């Protein structure tokens, strides 16, 4: 399939929106702002199409939106405690933009940048140069996000980055999913299963304590399919801190390469999303603070818990925890990760 494109004038500049449509009419739209996913339209069990990705009526509203909808945050996705970063013995102070901590690379992180973009065959490729000192991170970093869309409704994102000096890198995609359709209301009735028998407990600012705790016997146990809303109001510290789920799970056997991280099912429509990646962790965020975000597509108003983000990534605050998989890369060392979103529908 050959991607088509349109240009959209915004106060921030001209955004380029690409559309990829497969042989059954299922489609994906991608934006050069934040290298983001704007829409994903896929069939339900009866063949009815719906857009299952949260997004905005006005493309310009992706600029510095609170939810970071659909975009690629960086240079370090998720949180770094107190914005305190040490690389090769040198101290860096990152911007504090989430309580006392640094989040998603800072207020001018990759999610809030206009990326260069191009079509390569059937792929859409976004590129960004992050200069040395960008949001106080060291090293000139070149980043590539490459998306492809298949006839069997697989959206594949390949992330590549390399720096000319030691730095930290943690990239993901922050799309929010509601498999009943982005405008269908709460996602708390979706069934979720995670390939994870451990999770990362946090303090009340959502910074990991360093422990890799078993999920067994807790509301964090999604080893078998479970309704997202079943225990979201349980008297459990992690759920109080984030007003719902906003935690990183430790993917089982992740060191062996790409494996499934999460399965999300909407029982009403039958749509199913399987997320496959080679990342060591998966952050699940149940849209606990969507209220008040920009107006949605078609004029829809989003509310808390109307969608769930499934973010395959390195562990939050890894620079402060020697027992976490490393996220520091040396000069010339290649960061390369893949995330695949597989859509189908059960009978």
Domains annotated on the chain, with CATH: 4-345 (2.70.98.10)
Distance (Å, whole) CA 258 – CA 265: 21
Output helix, strand, coil percentages for the chain, rounded to the nearest 5.
10, 40, 50
Distance (Å, whole) CA 166 – CA 51: 40
**Residue 256 has what pLDDT?**
84
Q: Are strands 4-10 and 13-21 parallel, antiparallel or unpaired?
A: antiparallel
Encoding tokens for residue 207? Answer: 């910074």
The angle formed by the CA atoms of residues 320, 284 and 311, to the nearest 5 degrees, is 75
Least confident of 89-93, 181-185, 253-257, 292-296: 253-257
**Residue 1 has what pLDDT?**
79
**Residue 281 has what pLDDT?**
98
pLDDT digits (tens, 9 = 90+) for 156-203: 999 999 999 999 999 999 999 999 999 999 999 999 999 999 999 999
Of the candidates 318, 45, 272, 6, the residue with the CA atom closest to the CA atom of residue 168: 318
Distance (Å, whole) CA 301 – CA 54: 11
Task: For residues 274-297, give the mean pLDDT.
Answer: 98
Instruction: Say if residue 269's pLDDT is above 80.
Output: yes
User: How many secondary structure helices (H) and strands (E) does the chain include?
Assistant: 1, 26
Instruction: Say if residue 122's pLDDT is above 80.
Output: yes
Instruction: Say if residue 347's pLDDT is above 90.
Output: no
Task: For residues 124-148, give the mean pLDDT.
Answer: 98
Instruction: Say if residue 259's pLDDT is above 90.
Output: yes
**Residue 218 has what pLDDT?**
98
Q: Is 311 a catalytic residue?
A: yes
240's enclosing H/E stretch is helix 237-242
Beta-carbon contacts of residue 89 (< 8 Å; ≥ 6 apart)? none
Task: For residues 110-118, give the mean pLDDT.
Answer: 98
Instruction: Say if residue 115's pLDDT is above 90.
Output: yes
Ramachandran class of 76: left when φ > 0, alpha when ψ lies in -120 to 50, beta otherwise: beta
**Residue 292 has what pLDDT?**
96
In degrees and rounded to multiples of 5, residue 134 shows phi and psi of -60, 120
Task: For residues 16-20, give the mean pLDDT.
Answer: 98
**Residue 196 has what pLDDT?**
98
Instruction: Say if residue 152's pLDDT is above 90.
Output: yes
* Average confidence score pLDDT of the chain: 97
% of the chain at pLDDT higher than 90: 98
Catalytic-role residue among 174, 190, 261, 321: 174
Encoding tokens for residue 283? Answer: 């952050």
pLDDT digits (tens, 9 = 90+) for 27-75: 999 999 999 999 999 999 999 999 999 999 999 999 999 999 999 999 9
Catalytic-role residue among 29, 135, 311, 340: 311
Q: Are 174 and 69 in contact (CB under 8 A)?
A: yes
Name the β-bridge partners of 90.
Answer: 87
pLDDT digits (tens, 9 = 90+) for 211-226: 999 999 999 999 999 9
**Residue 18 has what pLDDT?**
98
Task: For residues 8-17, give the mean pLDDT.
Answer: 95
Name the β-bridge partners of 308.
Answer: 177
């Amino acid at each position: 399939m050959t991607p088509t494109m349109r240009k959209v004038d915004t106060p921030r500049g001209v955004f380029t929106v690409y559309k990829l449509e497969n042989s059954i009419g299922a489609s994906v739209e991608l934006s050069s702002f934040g290298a983001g996913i704007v829409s994903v339209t896929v069939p339900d069990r009866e063949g009815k199409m719906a857009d299952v990705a949260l997004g905005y009526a006005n493309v310009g509203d992706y600029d510095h939106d609170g939810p970071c909808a659909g975009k690629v945050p960086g240079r370090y996705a998720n949180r770094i405690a107190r914005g305190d970063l040490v690389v090769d013995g040198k101290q860096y102070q990152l911007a504090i933009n989430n309580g006392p901590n640094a989040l998603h690379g800072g207020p001018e992180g990759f999610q809030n940048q206009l990326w260069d973009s191009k079509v390569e065959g059937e792929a859409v490729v976004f590129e960004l140069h992050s200069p040395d000192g960008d949001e106080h991170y060291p090293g000139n970093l070149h980043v590539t996000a490459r998306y492809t869309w298949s006839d069997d409704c697989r959206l594949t994102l390949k992330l590549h980055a390399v720096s000319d000096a030691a730095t930290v890198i943690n990239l993901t995609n922050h799309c929010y999913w509601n498999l009943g359709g982005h405008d269908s209301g709460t996602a708390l009735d979706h069934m979720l299963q995670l390939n994870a028998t451990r999770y990362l407990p946090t303090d009340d600012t959502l910074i990991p304590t360093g422990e890799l705790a078993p999920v067994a016997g807790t509301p964090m146990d999604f080893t078998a399919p479970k309704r997202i809303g079943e225990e979201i109001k349980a008297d459990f510290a992690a759920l109080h801190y984030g007003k719902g789920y906003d935690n990183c799970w430790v993917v089982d056997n992740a060191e062996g390469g790409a494996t499934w991280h999460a399965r999300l099912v909407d029982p009403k429509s039958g749509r199913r999303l399987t997320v496959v990646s080679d990342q060591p962790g998966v952050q699940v965020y149940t849209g606990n603070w969507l209220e008040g975000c920009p107006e949605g597509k078609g004029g829809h108003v989003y509310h808390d818990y109307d969608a769930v983000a499934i973010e395959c990534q390195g562990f939050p605050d890894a620079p402060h925890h020697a027992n976490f998989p490393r996220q520091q890369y040396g000069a010339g060392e290649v960061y390369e990760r893949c995330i695949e979103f597989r859509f189908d529908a059960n009978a």
